[in-house]
Chains A and B, each alone.
Chain A
Amino acid sequence: MDISYGTDYERFRAEVRSFLAKHAVDAPSNQRDYRSAKAVAWQRKLLELGYTSRTVPKRYGGYGAEPDILISRILADEFAAAKATAGFGGQGIAMLIPTLLELGTEEQRQSIIPPTLLGEMLWCQGYSEPNAGSDLASLKTNAYLDGDEWVINGSKIWTSSAHIADWMFCLVRTEPDAPKHDGISFLLFSMDTPGIEVRPLVDMTENKYFNEVFFTDVRVPAGQIVGKRGQGWQVANTILGHERELLGDPNAALTRLNGVIDLMRTETIDGRRVIDMPVFRDRLMRIQGRVMAMRFNDLRLLSAKLNQQSAPLARMIVKLQGTELRHELEKLAIDVMGEFGLGYDDNEYLRGEGLWQWNYMFYLGLIIGGGTSQIQKNIISERGLGMPKEPKVAPTAGAM
């Protein structure tokens, strides 16, 4: 066991750190800003240095480096420590580009990857439907081929960023007679295509990140498919696992934990600091213990990936534990603030820009989204522990 990174990697870390010490002021303050001149200039700079989308080949606008998880980790750690946005994220960059690099055609890669990296092509993900949430593979939005075009009808829900996205990658049923997992295809299309209607959904944080999207005879060129007909489920699954790992980010949890400690040092009740109150101290230390356990679990996963070892259970529990932990952590901060913790939006007594309240609710959304905690427990027990599935219930007469 040796948890040091070694001198070559530490040299890289020093480079990144000195870049950030000089240039972090050039980073846009809003992580979801893909459009301002400042945000685009920052993204171009990071792409040029290989500090973001580092492994995307040069011919598609990336840096062309070999995958190196220690480099990725150093970049994540240092940008987090400097509180600087680590380049564009979003579903196009995090999910679609890796998918195209693996399964896309050369033409798709050339036309899609470069503008996506520069924020000129923003993506949304059309997966969930009103009746296909946890049981995503039962989705019903359908497409049939008419000449050299797909014709899409149906609707999607929980579609983040659909109201600002330029394009969508979407799961649709193209083989109605095939078993449910084998009848899905993965299509790409512009959100400007006639027949698409986007209706924002206001969530409990009062934000409009999610949308409902309706398709009425939406016509899409036949070539805008990734993988073959009926292979969409496998295409989507190459990246879903990636999303689940992101949701448990222990670096973010550590940053927030340090924020709670600061808050407990400054908030007072009857003039007494909250950090000096035993009940609050114990809650803080309990959460710290859990954050530590998840950080070490993450270190184990990093090492396992690096050394080609497997730790399937350690990986499967990350989404469940990570999101539940963050929800608890943000809740502690609200209890530390008491009535101040009720303030929202433009309240003049907001602490930390009201992010505690916002995250507390947002993480409840993440507990539910991306595979609910209950689905996670099914995955852990069935795939991880080899426990039998629930027996299928025979459809009752008249229900079908």
Chain B
Amino acid sequence: MDFGLSSDQVALQDSVDRYLNERVGLDQIRLFADGSDYREIWQGLTDLGVTSLLLPEDQGGIGLTLLDAALVAEILGRYVAPSPFIGSAVIAPQALQHVDDTIAAPYLSRLVDGGITAGIAFSELAGRRGDAGVQAIGNKLSGKSLFVLDPLAELQLVAATDGALYLVEAGAPGLQQLVHTTIDRTRISGELRYDNTPATPVTDDADTVAGLLDAARVMLVADTLGAAQHMLDAAVAYAKERKQFDRVVGSFQAVKHLCAEMTAELEPCRAMMWYAAYALDELPEEASITASQAKAHISEVGTFVARTATEVHGGIGFTDLLGLHYWFKRIGFNRQALGAPESLREQAAVLQGL
């Protein structure tokens, strides 16, 4: 019985934390927000091994678990680090296990060394909006996916409207890869359009596809946890320094109680994230319900922490000076992406036969 992180897991988080702490400060976030790319950041993370975490050892990987991946995602959220982590390091390495080795192996080795990245076009799985829709006829795709994470990546994992999953390469005939501006400038998202675009089938097994969606959701949950913890820590630190009425504002109960409320809500989210990530690998019968409920609940808590931590900062929190808004917006993005709380709760109810 051990429901805690191992020393290896703590060391993994520390190594990613050290790298991001040195290399991805607010200046880099601002540069990225203004349009520079994440190649250099991603290369550094790749060198740390994040792309080989999930890959089995006999394929040259480290053979770790989705919990380990989620722990990395948490640190990425803490630093609002721009990266194609979810597609490239979590979803593609798992999805490619279902593809013929002659096709998969070259992709995998280039994903691992950072030569290519992967995006995910899962809008058909997580509540189709507007005029999205992807028709697959004879391994050719037509239509479009909205809200694609990393739409410019060389490799795209595309869910068709019928629930089957396909691989599409950048530059394939009839494929358009478009970026759309969102509030979250630490992420690249957009859409893919297909016109008889050739695609490689990955799987049409509903459980497998659901498992990949759950994994992607849990990574967003972990990202929110890390981002929210940063905002809470920043609010507490600020409240201990800022003086008004000859006192640090953190000595006022009106302010310290806000910090206590954030802590009381956020602290159980850490255990919930661990459990949801652990369940992906170890508790298949609980995994989908837990992933849905974790994303719903932790998104709600994340939103609460994001607004409250901003409020504790007072006027300065509303400005660009501290850059706190990057965390606020990242949490907002994670909340809506791949299913917002209301949809997820309804899904959790249905999964329980309610």
Contacts and interface: CB of A to CB of B under 8 A. Distances in A.
Interface of A: 1-6, 9, 70, 261, 275, 278, 281-282, 284-286, 288-290, 292-294, 296-297, 299-300, 302-304, 306-307, 309, 313-314, 317, 320-321, 374, 376-378, 380-382, 384-391
B247 A70 contact: no
Given A296-B274, A380-B263, A381-B260, A303 B342 contact: no
Interface in B113-156: none
Given A374-B257, A387-B251, A5 B1 contact: yes
Contact of A293 (B1, B67, B256, B268): B268
Interface stretch (B2-10, B38-46, B303-311): B2-10
B1 A292 contact: no
Contacts of A302: 1, 3
Contacts of A386: 236, 240
A281 B274 contact: no
Contact of B271 (A286, A299, A309, A391): A299
Contacts of A387: 236, 239-240, 250-251, 256, 259
Interface centre among A289, A299, A388 (most CB of B within 10 A): A289
B247 A281 contact: no
B4 A300 contact: yes
B271 A281 contact: no
B348 interface: yes
A384 B274 contact: no
Given A1-B67, A9-B1, A377-B253, 6 more contacts: A275-B354, A281-B354, A285-B346, A289-B293, A292-B275, A381-B250
A236 B297 CA distance: 37
Contacts of A293: 268-269, 271-272, 297
Nearest to A320: B264
A281 B256 contact: no
Contacts of A3: 1-3, 278, 282
A381 B257 contact: yes
Interface in B226-270: 236, 239-240, 247-248, 250-253, 256-257, 259-261, 263-265, 267-270
A285 B290 CA distance: 12
Interface in B300-334: 300
12 contacts: A3-B3, A300-B3, A300-B271, A314-B271, A377-B257, A380-B263, A380-B264, A381-B250, A381-B256, A385-B256, A387-B259, A391-B247
Given A1-B278, A374-B257, A385 B263 contact: yes
B1 A297 contact: no
A382 B3 contact: no
Interface string B326-354: 00000000000000001001101100001
B264 A4 contact: no
Interface centre among A9, A288, A307, A382 (most CB of B within 10 A): A288
B314 to A, nearest CB: 16
Contacts of B274: 1, 296, 300
A381 B297 CA distance: 23
B111 interface: no
B213 interface: no
Nearest to B354: A275
Interface residues of B, number: 46
A288 B293 contact: yes
A282 to B, nearest CB: 6
Contacts of B239: 387
Contacts of B349: 281, 284-285
Nearest to A281: B349
Which DSSP category, helix, strand, loop or mixed, fits chain B's interface?
Answer: helix
Contact of A388 (B2, B240, B257, B290): B240
A388 B259 CA distance: 12
B268 A382 contact: no
Contacts of B346: 278, 281-282, 285
Given A4-B1, A387-B240, A388-B250, A314 B354 contact: no
B267 A297 contact: yes
Interface string B199-213: 000000000000000
A339 B334 CA distance: 40
B296 interface: yes
Interface string B90-108: 0000000000000000000
Nearest to A315: B267
Contacts of A390: 251-253
A290 B297 contact: yes
Given A282-B342, A284-B349, A378-B253, A300 B270 contact: yes
A382 B278 CA distance: 33
Nearest to A278: B346
A330 B257 CA distance: 25
Contact of A309 (B4, B240, B250): B4
Interface centre among B1, B2, B250, B348 (most CB of A within 10 A): B1
A43 B172 CA distance: 75
B242 to A, nearest CB: 12
A123 B259 CA distance: 38
B1 A385 contact: no
Contacts of A290: 297
Contacts of A317: 263-264, 267-268
Contacts of A380: 259-260, 263-264
B261 A292 contact: no
A274 to B, nearest CB: 11
Contacts of A304: 4
Nearest to B296: A289
B271 A296 contact: yes
Nearest to A299: B3
Given A281-B354, A388-B248, A296 B275 contact: yes
Contacts of B294: 289, 292
Contact of A385 (B5, B236, B297, B300): B236
Given A6-B1, A297-B268, A289 B263 contact: no
| For the complex of A and B, 3 pairs with smallest distance between CB atoms | A289-B297, A285-B345, A377-B260
B269 A1 contact: no
Contacts of B4: 1, 300, 303-304, 307, 309
Contacts of A286: 296-297, 300, 345
Nearest to A282: B345
Nearest to A384: B263
Nearest to A264: B354
Interface centre among B265, B297, B346 (most CB of A within 10 A): B297
B348 A285 contact: yes
A1 B276 CA distance: 12
A273 B266 CA distance: 34
